[in-house]
Chain A
Amino acid sequence: MKAKIIITPKKAVLDPQGKTVQTALEHMGYRGVKAVHVGKYLEIELEGTDKEAARQQLNEAAHKFLSNPVIEDYKLEIE
């Protein structure tokens, strides 16, 4: 199994990286970019086949460690 975790800054948190990338895209001539949010992507390879157990475990890990709930949101996918 493989887990994919996408971590993004919370909406209320200042994201200067996202803003800078957005400005750069505009400078390059790409139109219609409303907002950019720069985050992190983690790919985790897992043993076993129990998706539910893996989900439970990784939700806990994402909350406690992989993301910082004060400033970040995360999305977990298992395939």
Chain B
Amino acid sequence: MNFVVLQFPASNCDQDAVHGVRILGHSARLLWHKESSLGDADAVIVPGGFSYGDYLRCGAIARFSPVMQAVKQFAENGGLVLGICNGFQVLTEAGLLPGALIRNRDLQFHCEHIYLKTATNDSPFTSQIPSGKLLRVPIAHGEGCYFADNETLDRLVAHRQVLWQYCDATGNLTDASNPNGALQNIAGICNERRNVAGLMPHPERACEPLLGSADGRLVFESMIHAWHSRLAKAA
């Protein structure tokens, strides 16, 4: 499977995403944001960072990059797109995911490991996460508080688009385990079609036991599984 990892000015963890895919035996390459073609991509990762210095709003400028027009087209054709941290912000600004990410409620930049509860296995991003398994992954953001109006939030819940929620070590969705004030402890969501997802935590930084956790692999393994299933169906 070929992953393409986008690179904007001030992207970060892009190399980690490439590494995370490669150690699973698949191919990944970086793609500069000025490129207008995704080439042979089977999936796209929009990485974290501070694209364009977070000018105006996080992700507001990145969505105009030539590569993002190709990503929109790719998503419209059903391609798998995963936005991590700033990538999640870019995807909401681009209109590929509903809602917005705003300043953490305590105004502080949070850089720590948190626990994630997977709300549904019914998505190409969560299918390989064992039921009841909590993901221990890092966060590193100042503007990760998920916000959407009530109508949007109801729709997200009704269509089971909430994929991950912040929880404590035993899986309870508490206020204390919510690092940024996100509505309903939301850490990650997908679109209605379930081919585009975004999350604030960094699964790519938790792909090897040496790094303290390999739980993040499960997200990429799910994407790879989805791709295999698609191929099998097409055959």
Q: Is the interface of B mostly helix, strand, loop or mixed?
A: loop
| Nearest-neighbor residue (CB-CB) of A40 within chain B | B56
B60 touches A16 (CB 8 A): no
> Interface-forming stretch among B25-33, B97-105, B156-164?
B97-105
Check B40 for interface membership: any CB of A closer than 8 A: no
Instruction: Report the count of interface residues on A (CB-CB < 8 A).
Output: 12
User: Could you tell me the distance between the alpha carbons of A13 and B57 in the complex, rounded to whole angstroms?
Assistant: 15
Enumerate chain A interface residues (CB-CB to B < 8 A).
9, 12-14, 16-17, 20, 65-66, 68, 70-71
**Interchain CA distance A65-B92 in the complex, whole Å:** 12
The total of interchain contacts (Cβ-Cβ below 8 angstroms) comes to 34
Residues in A neighbouring B181, C-beta threshold 8 A: 14, 16
* Distance (whole angstroms) from the CB of B141 to the closest CB of chain A: 14
12 residue pairs A–B, Cβ–Cβ below 8 Å: A9-B102, A12-B149, A13-B102, A14-B105, A16-B104, A65-B56, A65-B60, A68-B57, A70-B92, A70-B100, A70-B147, A70-B149
Q: How large is the interface on B (under 10, 10 to 19, 20 to 34, 35 or more residues)?
A: 10 to 19
User: Hey, which chain B residues are within 8 Å of A68, CB to CB?
Assistant: 57, 60, 93, 100
A65: which B residues are within 8 A, CB to CB? Answer: 56, 60
* Cβ of B23 under 8 Å from chain A: no
A71:B106 contact, CB within 8 angstroms: no
Q: Mark B120-146, 1 if CB is under 8 A from A, else 0.
A: 000000000000000000000000010
Q: Is the CB of B107 within 8 A of A71?
A: no
Residues in A with CB closer than 8 Å to B24 are none
Contact status B102-A14, CB under 8 Å: yes
A14 CA to B148 CA in the complex, in Å?
Answer: 11
